Amino acid sequence: MKRYDAFPEPIGGYTAGRTQMDFEYTASDHSKRELTAFVYYPSDSNEGKTPSTYMFPEVYEMLHDQPLVTKYMKEKDFFSIDIQTYCYDDLALSGKEKRYPVLFYVCGGGGSPEWGTVICTDLASMGYVVVSIGHQNSTMYKCKDGRLFNVSKDFSDAIMAFSEDPEMMALAGQMTMRPDDETAIETCRNVLTLPILHQLTKYSELQAEDVRYAANYLYKLDSGELNSIFNGRLQLDAGMGIVGHSYGGPTTAIVCRDDDRFACGIGFDSGAFGLLDSDLKKPFLLLFSEPNYHMNAIIGANNSMETYYFSVDHAAHLDYCDILFTGVNEELRGERDAMEMRNLVTDYTGTFFDHYILQKPVHVESLSYDGVDLIKKTSRK
């Protein structure tokens, strides 16, 4: 298995800056939420700084305390943090444009906000400000002030209960490659009505609240109510975008459904928890590996705006995040070349946001990669 000592160089023309912010707020269930966020952004120079640390060792060590990580994984590390990034801490914001558009990235459940460093760095190098949040209970992270947060036992139990649920296992056994739409929608509906999903849906909704709170915070940074390099520099009137991997995907869709400040969203190999009868009312792109269409077919069936379903051959679930380059366990990797996989994920993501946020004349349907097929495009508009 090929090992990498550095991430790929960013695809765009800007240097990528990175800064960290901590947040606290009270959620709708009256719980106190203590979060952190890494913000990636376009800069003109690395100012002679060394690259940002990929992941704090203390966070990496917490992985082995997660009930979510199986006994097999505890005995065999599946990714490394010894890799060079291409972002730099606390640079000046680029002066090339007056304002920069805003995106959010949501990592998978049990993961870390740093797991999207490659895509976030790429998007920052293309001129986007990208916010990657550490969500309390469902992800692991170190706050800027040094406090450590690991995945909670309740969240781990909810994930394990879902994966081991006899009804879910029976439905999974029926999932085929390239099902017809009617079958996929019926399967998706059956999954989403499982009682076991209630807890998982609750965490997705809390993550969506985190995103909306962080969006409020960005508005305050832009207005100057809070002091930062982003004062008067965020292009918020065009609408924000959001992308999520795996368990982060339902969060992106819930945010699109509930917050009109968001213009569009993307899910990487994700599901539709909490979205049974939801019209997102926003363009949405799903990039996934078969037979995942069964897990998200309901989104396009209900969405009044465009929904794109792109199937990616020879890709594994963790190929959609940094483990594509940090992974050390060949069993978790797909067969597709790592650089090609990164290029297509960045290309589809950047093209989608460029079109729907910046109104550029570019279209995801015009992209061409071997084994990437548009299997469905829906719109009830």
Q: How far apart are CA 213 and CA 230, in angstroms?
A: 17
The helix/strand count (H/E) of the chain reads as 11, 13
d(CA 322, CA 80): 10
pLDDT at 178: 87
Nearest one of 137, 112, 278, 133 to 213, comparing CA atoms: 133
Within the chain, residue ranges assigned H as helices are 57-62, 71-75, 117-125, 153-164, 166-174, 181-192, 198-223, 248-258, 293-302, 323-326, 338-356
pLDDT, position 381? 63
Give the tens place of pLDDT for each residue, 36-78: 999 999 999 999 999 999 999 999 999 888 876 654 465 557 8
Q: What is the mean pLDDT of the chain?
A: 95
Tens of pLDDT, residues 118-133: 999 999 999 999 999 9
Domain boundaries of the chain, sorted by first residue: 15-378
CATH number of 15-378: 3.40.50.1820
